[in-house]
Amino acid sequence: MTVLDHSRRGAAQWQPRLHRRHEIVTVGGMEGVLRVGAALTTCGYQVHEFVADVQDGVPYGSVTCTVALTAHEVTLFAERLREVPTVIAVDPR
């Protein structure tokens, strides 16, 4: 794959995107999980895997996802997802 970019960057500015796996604990059943999916889409993250676990009678659900992030974006990723009202925790795996 070739990426064309007309702006010049030094080697110190370039950071690779690595596939990073996170587990996101939610409340609100299926609606809570769907809000996480909407937040990932809205923020423009490259999601390579998205697995939801919602069970009847259990107050918490979870989303396990693999997202392409730079080292700088990891902290921002967790902060953005914690702003979603249904998210309880964001843990890297």
pLDDT digits (tens, 9 = 90+) for 5-51: 555 656 567 788 899 999 999 999 999 999 999 999 999 999 999 99
Whether 69 maps to a domain, the answer reads yes
Would you state the structure tokens that stand for residue 22, as one six-digit string? 């996170």
Whether 71 maps to a domain, the answer reads yes
| pLDDT of 75 higher than 90 | no
Which residue, among 58, 63, 61, has the nearest Cα to 27 in the 3D structure? 61
Whether 84 maps to a domain, the answer reads yes
Cα angle vertex 33, ends 27, 35, to 5°? 100
pLDDT of residue 81: 95
Whether 15 maps to a domain, the answer reads no
- Prediction pTM value: 0.80
The tens digit of pLDDT for each residue in 80-93 reads 999 999 999 999 98
Owning domain of residue 32:
27-92
List the beta strands (DSSP E) in 1-93: 18-27, 46-53, 60-69, 87-92
Q: How many residues does the chain have?
A: 93
Provide the number of structural domains found in the chain. Answer: 1
Rounded distance between C-alpha atoms, residue 18 and residue 30, angstroms: 28
